Amino acid sequence: MAERKVICYIAQSLDGYIADPEETLDWLLDVEMDGDAGYQQFIETVDTILLGRRTYEWVVSQESGEFPYVDQRSYVFTSHPKEDEGQISFTSEEPASIVRKLKQQPGGTIWPVGGSLLLESLLKEDLVDEFIISIAPVTLGNGIPLFQKAQRQFEFTLKSVEQDGQIAQLHYTRRRN
């Protein structure tokens, strides 16, 4: 059985931000694309979603109060857990602890949707296996960076470079000895 992978599929501005200073993705909506940057193909491999509470609330607000990932098992990391809702678990458990358990179980891709603090906690524990980063041709100057301050150096191997309209997509895999 192949080990499950944690794959960060995400869009960022040319200067490295995943959200503008108002914590929106409005800047991304105007970028010219020919397709969906491989999203549909990617999401079909995903059976587990990881989100911070603020990202979860933002996603729900953008979807008129509906959580769009009802077909996937989801974990929302929060300091104020509440009752689970269907496939969604609200937990204060450390993300790395949950990911280690998930990697021991059969299943598909584990997708940390956001935010950058969640990603930082997974990187700190060397739990991210791949990055698929779509780079939009816009600079924001400020906002939420994709990467917080790295705790240590990690090496990745470039797997592919794709273009979808004005989006450049880089796919990296973690290089481990």
Sequence-distant (≥ 6) Cβ neighbours of residue 45 within 8 angstroms: 7, 108, 109
Residue 38 inside a domain? The answer is yes
Q: Which domain holds residue 40?
A: 7-174
Residue 52 inside a domain? The answer is yes
Residue 112 inside a domain? The answer is yes
Q: How many domains does the chain have?
A: 1
d(CA 127, CA 130): 9
DSSP per-residue string spanning 5-31: -BEEEEEEETTSEEE-TTS--HHHHTS
Residue 1 inside a domain? The answer is no
CB 55 within 8 A of CB 118: yes
The string of pLDDT tens digits covering residues 27-56 is 998 898 898 999 999 999 999 999 999 889
Residue 2 inside a domain? The answer is no
Which pLDDT belongs to residue 150? Answer: 66
Q: Which structure tokens are listed for 4?
A: 């499950």
Residue 151 inside a domain? The answer is yes
Which pLDDT belongs to residue 130? Answer: 97
Query: Which residues pair with residue 109 across a beta bridge?
Result: 46
d(CA 13, CA 167): 10
Q: Report which residue type is found at 150.
A: A
What's the CATH number where 115 sits? 3.40.430.10
Residue 64 inside a domain? The answer is yes
Which stretches of the chain drop beneath a pLDDT of 70? 1-2, 150-151
Residue 122 inside a domain? The answer is yes
Residue from 36, 42, 58 nearest 8 by CA = 42
CB 110 within 8 A of CB 7: yes
Which pLDDT belongs to residue 1? Answer: 59
Which pLDDT belongs to residue 152? Answer: 76
